[in-house]
Each structure stands twice: as structure tokens, then as C-alpha cells.
Amino acid sequence: QELYERYLGPSWYDAPATESLWERVNSIPDEELWRNHERMRSELIVAVRERLHRSLQERGAASTELVQALEVLDPTVLTIGFARRFATYKRATLFMRDPDRLKQILSGLQGDRTKGDSLRKRAVQFVIAGKAHPKDIPGKELIRDINHFIREQNLNHHIVFIPNYDINVARIMVAGCDVWLNNPRRPREASGTSGMKAAMNGVPNLSVLDGWWDEADYVRTGWAIGHGEEYDDLDYQDEVEANAFYELLEQEIVPLFYQRDEENLPRGWITKMKDAIRLNCPQFNTARMVGEYASRAYFPLSDRYRVLTGDHYSPAKELAHWHTHLFEHWYDMKIETVEVSEEPELQVDQSIAVKARIRLGELRPADVRVELYQGAIDARGEIINGVPVVMEYSGTDSQDDRISLYTVNIAYHSSGLQGFALRVFPHHPYLSNAYEPGLILWAE
């Protein structure tokens, strides 16, 4: 906060969604940002030791355990944080899947010794915290498994589970960790706000592409585990994503963190820290969220309310009568034919004419909107990344005035297998959108 006030201005928190404001993060000297973060990491380690010591003391632990509690972790080592509600889909134990490989990473044995790097200086440590719901037995078992794993593998100095998780623990963790880990089972993650808070403190995220992270610039502001895949075989998913997690640590994260210049500064890491702040803060904050809710939902809803209740509610009554008429006759409508102008070879950007003959029944042309949904076709024969094109009403069939005609000219702007599908939506000037009635008719 002191750095932000100094380099972004004292009122930086008044306009958190302003991108130009966060661009000033680049003006923070690398050394000042890094020293500040190192101080936060040291404060985290001190707090972890004190909490662990106090918890063991309350449980009547032996004096040797109490002494060891004040020696856990290293304030100079790459620190990965994992803290949240211990629901099973968040897979808190995924990092433990290959104990031998994990031990190598923790000890620094994966370091490049040919460059003279000491093993200790390329080590990794984990700070884990969280609680399970009182009735969530599987969640409690995850916490038990982590604590048993730490003891059985003799990793007390490298992995610490903080007891009695609360907001104070969360606050020091999102500021003091170097990497924020999140590995939910996609697509179960709703948001992941802890990762957002960490990013605001210059902490890069390491996460599965789910929740907020799937919308973030995960290349410049952190790392992605996988590519957004979803699996039917959950054990196979855990195997694949655990390996991806280990590889990212070994090949990218650890080397970047410990790569120092002549001033002993990790310039590449600091760039990622600044990007985490600069690119995430203006997008993932409550001010932007509330503003977007207001502009996209609350204000339009307020305007719609005024329209529908005007003139003694006559628009609302009109819409209600129209709804009744629509549902009574929608299923009588029939798409008779869809015709395409014959072209022996269709070239890119060449226009073709499409005409549809639709029997509306008791509905009027003003009651519907006819569209062509067009785009490339995948191997399953389905349109991907389709674009809707509205067709124009062009009168009735000369031989049967009960059939309405709709036409449009379209062109495809890329080569390959292309296609379209015709669909009909309800339409009324007082509808909030075409999907509101929940009706749609596709051509067969």
C-alpha cells in the first residue's frame, strides 16, 4: 500500500478500474518492489512460525517440537501459497501425487549446478492453510492427509500447514507468498478471489484455467496448468495435471525466480510481478464488477421497468397479451424450405443468396426474427464460432400468401468446410432479449 501511494498517487484506491493508473506500476523501481516483497515474505515466515508454535504449545507438544516450530521455512526461499476452503474439488493434495519428484523440487536438486547455483538457493517451500466445512468429512480428510504426509515424509521444514486459518492468515499469505497455487477440478471453480488478492500484491498465480484465471492474462501474469481440458477419467486428469504442475516448477518457475543479475535482483520475476499488478488490478476488482453490473444489468433493468410501467402499464399489458398469443401458436409455425443460389464452386468472400419459406400460421412477420447461423464446420459436423445474420422479410409467396419469405446474402471469409443453419426467434419491441420467452425453432 505504501508503494502504491508513493508511485500511483494517494487516491489510487478511488479509481481501481482505471487502466492508466495501474500503468504507473512500471515506474516503481525494481529494487524497491523486490525489497518490499522480501520483507513481506519474511513477515509471513515469522507469523507462520509463531502460529505453529502457539498451536503446538496449546496441544502440549514436546519441547523439541516447539523449538523446531520456530525454525520452519526459510525467508529467502521460493514460497508457494495455497489457502482456501478445503472442498474436495479444489484438490489440495494434488501437489503430493509424486512424493519423490516433489522432494527433489523442495530440496533444489532440480537446479542447474553447472552454473554454480547452490542447491539450497534453488529450493522451494509450501505454506498451506484453510478450513473444511464442519460437515465436510472428505474436506477434513484432505487436511489430515496433508499433515500426515508432512510428518511421514519428514518435510516439516519445507511444507507447513497453518492451523486456525482466519482472515489475518489470509492477509499475510496473499502478500508474502511468491506464487499463488490453485488447482481446482475444471469447471468447478466459480471464481477464486484469493488469487485475485494475491495478484494485487504482485504475486503471480499458478492455476488451472478455471474461474477468474481463465479470463486473465495467464501468460504474462503467471502460469497455467494445462490448457483448459476437461476429463471423464478423473484419476487420469490428476496424473496429467500433477505432471504439468511439476514441469512448470522445474522448467519455468524455479529457474525464473532464482535467476539474478549482478545486483542480485530477479529482473524477469519482477517483470512478472509488475504485470500481475498492472494487468489484473484494473480488471479484477469490485469497482469494475459493480460498474459492469450496473451498466449491463441494473440500469437496463431500471429503464425497462420505466418503459413497461409507463402509460398506466399499457406496455406491460401489451407484452403479456403477446406472450399468451405467442405460446398458443408458436408450435404451429413451420419452416417449409431453405434454398441456396446454386454455385458450382464457392470462392472466399463470394456472395450467395439464401431464401427461406416459413409458414407462420397465426403469428405475424413482426412477431419473429429469422436468422442464419453461419460458420466453419468441425469434424463432428457442428458449426464452430458461428455468427448470426438476420434475414429480411420480403413479403409472401405468390402462390400461397400464408407462407412468408425471408432472404439474405452471405459470404464466407475463410476456406474449408462451411455451413449454416436457419433459426427463428420470437421478436417484440418490449422483450429484453430474444431468449427471454425460451423459444427457438431450427430448420431440420
The span from the CA of 243 to the CA of 105, in Å, is 13
* Average pLDDT of span 83-102: 94
The yes-or-no answer to whether 2-284 and 319-442 have a common fold is no
List the single range of 67-76, 106-115, 240-249, 284-293 with lowest mean pLDDT: 106-115
Q: Which amino acid is at 228?
A: G
Helices (H), 253-401: 254-258, 267-280, 286-293, 299-329
The span from the CA of 431 to the CA of 368, in Å, is 12
Looking at residue 347, what DSSP letter applies? Answer: P
CATH architecture for the domain at 2-284 = 3-Layer(aba) Sandwich (3.40)
Q: How many CB atoms lie within 10 A of CB 216?
A: 24
CA torsion 413-414-416-417 (nearest 10°) is -40
Q: Where are the beta strands (DSSP E) in 58-211?
A: 78-85, 124-131, 159-162, 179-182, 205-208
Q: What percent of the chain stands above pLDDT 70?
A: 96
Name the one residue in this structure whose C-alpha cell is 514460497: 79
User: Does the pLDDT of residue 145 top 60, yes or no?
Assistant: yes
Q: What is the mean pLDDT of the chain?
A: 93
List the single range of 109-118, 165-174, 298-307 with lowest mean pLDDT: 109-118
**Could you tell me the pTM of the whole model?**
0.81
Give the three cell numbers for residue 253.
518457475
pLDDT band at 411 (very low <50, low <70, confident <90, very high): confident
Whether the Cβ atoms of residue 80 and residue 125 lie closer than 8 Å to each other: yes
Angle between helices 167-176 and 193-200 (to 10 degrees): 50
Query: Omega before 187 cis (within 30°)?
Result: yes
Q: Domain residues of the chain, as ranges?
A: 2-284, 319-442
CA torsion 220-225-228-229 (nearest 10°) is 160
Please tell me the CATH code under which domain 319-442 is placed. Answer: 2.60.40
